[in-house]
Structures are given as C-alpha cells and as structure tokens.
Amino acid sequence: MWRKAIGSMAVGTVCLAVIGGLASCGGGSTAEHVLHLPHVLNTDHPVHKALVKFADEVEERSEGEMVIKIHPGGTLGNEQELVDNVSNDTDAFTKVSTTILETKTDLAKIYSLPYLFRSSEHMWQVLKGEIGQELLNMAIDQNLKGICYFDAGARSFYTKKKVTGPKDLQGMKIRVQKSVMMQKLVESLGASPQQIAFSELYTALDSGVVAGAENNIPSYYTTQHYKVAPYYVFDEHVRIPDILVMSAKRWRGLTSEEQKIIEEAADVAVEYQRELWQKERRQQMKAMRKAGVTFTRPDKKPFIEATKSIYKQFEGEDVMDYVERIRKVKVEKGQADETKEE
C-alpha cells in the first residue's frame, strides 16, 4: 500500500499547480487542466469504458484544454483511499461504489439498504430525479462533488459451494466492501463478513480465505471470480449505484463553461454506460454459462425477511425520510416496476 499511496500523492502534488493554470501535468500535455481519475475496475468493465467515453467527450468538447487521465485496476489504491484522495484534494476525480461514501456521510447508507429499489427502472427514476440529484452532493462538505451515477446493477452472492437461500450462508465467510452497511447486511443473513479490497479478492477466493462474495455480473465476470467461485445466486439483495466524484475545490476552480462541459460529457457517458451494461451483461452470462457457472434464481422472500431488521436503526433519522420518498417514486408509464433486469 505504501507504494500505491506515494504514487497517488505524487500525481496529486504535481497537479495542484495545474488547477491554477500554472503548468501542465502528465505526458507533456499542453492542456490547461490535467485531471486524474483513478478507480478499481478492470479495463473490460462497462463502467471503465464509460469513463473513457467521459474523458474523450471532455477532451473533445474543451478542444484539448481539459484532459482526464484514467488509472484503472486499483493501481493507485483501494476505493477508501481513492475517495480520501479526492476529499483532501490530492486527486481531482474518482469513481467508487456509493457505499464507500458512508465514511463521509450517513446519507450514503441509503443506497446500501437491502431491497430498497423495486427494479432497475425504479432506481434510475430515483437517481435521475430530485432525490438522486440532491444526494449527488451528500458529501459536499467533505469536498466531494457528485458528478453522476453509473449503473452497478443488483448485487448477489457468489460462492465456492452452491447457495440457494440464507440457510446455506450460515457461518460462511463472505467478502464485503469497506462498509458497515454491507457488513450488517451479510450478518443479518447469518454469514460472517470479511472486509477485503476488491483487487485482492481473487486471491482470497482462490485460497479459500473467504467462501464467497457478492457483486453484479460485470464485476463477477471481469475479475474472473467466476473461475474460483462458480455458483451465483440471484438474490439481488441491494442495488448500489456507482458514483463519479470530483474535488469540489477543483470544480470551483473551473469556469462555468468548463463545468458545463463536464456535466454534458457525464450525461453522454451515463447513457452510453446504461446501454453497454445491458448488452455486455447478457454476453458475459452466456460466456460464464459456457464456462460452467451455475446461476440460481432463489425464492427472495427469506432474504428480504432476514435483512429487514437493518432499517430499524434509522427510525426517526434523515435516512428514513429518504427511504419513504424513494418508495413513493413511481416509474414512468410503460416501464417495468419490478426486478426483471437480473
């Protein structure tokens, strides 16, 4: 981690000068702003591809004045470190799972609540609407400006031994993200949560340090976790969107025209990603079936019942106000309002 931290610090330090327009940073670029965007996903992941689209759009629309350099694969740190680096203005951007922001604000816990969204359509109606836009800025006082959300589908368990219901998860060591919410969720199902960084999970699964994990299909596929944990059960316990965050200080350092370019480029990237997600997900499932992965569609009721207790701790808090508002959001006419995506 030392090495990674130093690498990240170096990137940020050089670029501090850039935001003031004093110098250019990275690869001899003549851009006014060179902004770094590290994240943990692999380059064949649809969210990474959308980030590339975002960077291309920004560069083109700004005629090369703004350059975004993407560092994939967790080479500059795990998600907690990457968020901290934006929060303390070392890096300009990162893309993380919203659950990671819970160390910065309690409001981030909303998106990690089990079975909160009725469907992908319901989630997007919320994210694109008033609530989602409000919550983009949930950690603004920590210097984290939310730029946009990306689809991260529904998360389900995958294991080395077949699981069909919570009864099979009893006592099983399951990897979770650095998130108290995810820890509680896994505990409520009787399993034993283990916090492990995303990039270290393949080895942990392979060596049996954990018996399983939980994630969406593209992450399961692009990490090749399916090769060492070939049972995937579609319990779809949570839909946690990904979020692109930017240092609020750097945002304020941009002209309104530059800010507009970033917002418009993000809109294009989100639309691109949502389409890509559906398409690639289908292809990936096909490939994994071929490779021998067993997909199970369980009765979700026992999962829903077991995880309900998580809501209790938020009674009378702001989080519950949001939950009530989210539940009232209706999907647009003609769209499905139940889980059918995965």
Q: What angle do CA 340, 216, 130 make, to 5 degrees?
A: 70
Q: Does 284 bind ligand GCU (CB under 6 A)?
A: no
Q: How far is the CB of 24 from ligand GCU (least distance, A)?
A: 30
The pattern of x and - marking residues 312 through 341 that bind ligand GCU according to CB under 6 A reads ------------------------------
Q: Give the alpha-carbon dihedral of 6, 199, 235, 47, to 10 degrees.
A: 70
258 is a site residue for ligand GCU (CB under 6 A): no
DSSP 330: P
Asked if residue 248 binds ligand GCU (CB under 6 A), the reply is no
- Does residue number 243 form part of the binding site for ligand GCU (CB under 6 A)? no
| 3-class DSSP state of 68 | strand
Residue from 62, 188, 219, 273 in contact with ligand GCU (CB under 6 A): 219
Residues 92-111 that bind ligand GCU (CB under 6 A): 96-97
The amino acid sitting at 175 is: R
What is the rounded distance in angstroms from the CA atom of residue 220 to the CA atom of residue 238? 15
Amino acid identity of residue 34, one-letter, is V
- How would you label 124-138 residue by residue, b for 16+ Cβ within 10 Å and e otherwise? bbbbeeebbeebbeb
C-beta of residue 246 within 8 angstroms of C-beta of residue 51: no
State which residue has the least CB distance to ligand GCU.
219
Q: How far is the CB of 266 from ligand GCU (least distance, A)?
A: 16
If DSSP codes are grouped into helix, strand and coil, which group holds residue 70?
A: strand
Give, as ranges, the residues between 162 and 181 that touch ligand GCU (CB under 6 A): 177
Among 90, 215, 247, 284, binds ligand GCU (CB under 6 A): 215
- Give the count of residues interacting with ligand GCU (CB under 6 A): 11
- Site for ligand GCU, rule CB under 6 A: 40, 47, 79, 96-97, 152, 177, 198, 215, 219, 242
